[in-house]
Amino acid sequence: MAVAVIIQLDANLFPRTEAPRAALDEKVQGAVRALQEVTPRPDFILGSQQQDQTAIQITYELPILPHGVGNEPDLESSPFLQSVRSLCGEPRNVFHVALDRPVFGPDGPALANVVEFVLSYFPVSRITPDFQTRVQDDFLRFDEIFSPAAIGSRGWASGWLLEDQSHESLNGEMAKCFFIMRGWDSMDRFQRSLQSDAYQKAIPLLLAWNAPWTMFHVDNLSSAHVYLRLRDGETWENIPESLLVDCAQLTKANSIEGNKKDNITIIYTPWSNLMKDGSMATGQVSFHNQKMVRKVFVPLRENAIVNRLNKTRVEKFPDLKAEKDEYMKKQRQDERKTREEKRHKEKQEKREREQLKWQKDHAYDDLMSEENIQASSNQDRDSNFLDDFM
């Protein structure tokens, strides 16, 4: 269970600048800086709507407290929302959504390159617990049918908006909204998925409700990419903390937008988990497995770290294919050497086992020699050999 907050702002609040989004970024970052003493500090995503280029959207999650008297969240008094209002002006819309899962988790949709939002409007007069359950069940059935064909889908979450909404087709009656949030690698992949047979089979489940709906998509901020070549024996899971901090600071410093911001989150993953296809823009990537994506929080740019790294900077234009071929050649040589050493060791151990077995089998050979047998036999003694014992 999670409560997501959707804040939609008007970029035209900043008419004097040619880059309203950049100006808004600065305003929002001011709001974030004002929250440095808030615990826990919320994760958030800032993006622009594709369908309405004048709309800027912030998505974040509220901390969920245990149920009990006095623990109900006060939605309008959220420190983050208050700061955004103070620094950026009154939003166009603010939605609070009770979702079935976190949207910033490993399988959450919020961190995808493109995030799809769908709101379906149902008259308040129709809303009962049973009605809500049937709506949710149909959306789950839709997802079960559609998901296998949803190429590039990066997780989804669903739930009901906590505030009643208005819609022109409801003749003045207020509505409860069922909300879907799904992440995508790219807009092209979303559009191709809508052409699938699975979508055509699943969509009648939702159209049967005859409910008005709206859909919009948000492009999230882009960032720089930093690649770390690990030493032999190191893995991406045991990177030293100090090295992670260096990489995160370098990523922030080389991001056109991220360098101007405080309180950002850097994500990292093995290179083999990166996914890229022709439908993605330059620099845009996604991941095969979201559970192999980890985060590093960067509160501020640390110039001492960035300056230290820049002093050791060496710019090269290597032949990456040749380097890879050489690396793979060395890997094969090392593997061959390891196999040979293993075979040699196994042969040595086999010889030692055989030698020990032979020694065990022949331990009494000297005692059973012809000479010793004759020496211990009474056969050739004279008849008085027992006199020595009298």
Lowest-confidence region among 33-47, 209-223, 288-302, 334-348? 33-47
Statement to judge: residues 203 and 84 lie in one domain: yes
**Are 306 and 250 spatial neighbours (Cβ–Cβ below 8 Å)?**
yes
Q: Does any domain span residue 321? A: yes
The answer to whether residue 269 is domain-embedded is: yes
Is 179 in the same domain as 248? no
The answer to whether residue 325 sits within a structural domain is: yes
Q: Model-level pTM?
A: 0.56
The predicted model gives 368-380 an average pLDDT of 60
Indicate whether 295 pLDDT > 90: no
Domain co-membership, 158 together with 235: no
Confidence check: pLDDT of 122 > 90 = yes
Q: Is residue 162 part of a domain?
A: yes
Give the model's confidence band at 20: pLDDT under 50 very low, under 70 low, under 90 confident, else very high.
Answer: low
- The reply to whether 251 and 268 lie within a common domain is yes
Are 177 and 257 found together in one domain? no
Boundary residue ending a domain (180, 204, 220): 220
Range of the domain at 239: 225-341
CATH number of the domain where residue 96 is located: 3.30.70.100
Q: What is the pLDDT of residues 90-113, one digit of tens each?
A: 888 888 998 888 887 667 788 787
> Which residue, 220, 243, 261, sits at the end of a domain?
220
If asked whether residues 261 and 298 sit together in one domain, one would say: yes
In percent, the amount of the chain with pLDDT more than 70 equals 71
Instruction: Count structural domains, the chain.
Output: 2
Please give the average per-residue pLDDT across 207-233, as a whole number: 76
Same domain, 197 and 88: yes
321/203 same-domain check? no
58 & 190 share domain: yes
d(CA 170, CA 160): 18
Residue 129 lies in a domain: yes
pLDDT, average across residues 352-363: 82
Provide the pLDDT confidence category of residue 15 given band limits of 50, 70 and 90.
very low
Task: Specify whether 174 is located in the same domain as 250.
Answer: no
> Are residues 256 and 213 part of one domain?
no
Instruction: Give pLDDT tens digits for 316-330.
Output: 667 767 877 888 888
Confidence of residue 178 (pLDDT cuts 50, 70, 90): very high
pLDDT at position 144 is 92
**Cα distance between residue 315 and residue 199, in whole Å:** 49
CA atoms within 13 A on the CB side of 73: 18
Query: Is there a single domain that holds both residue 57 and residue 193?
Result: yes
Residue 68, pLDDT score: 40
Cα separations in angstroms, 376 against 13, 166, 290, 367: 117, 116, 83, 10
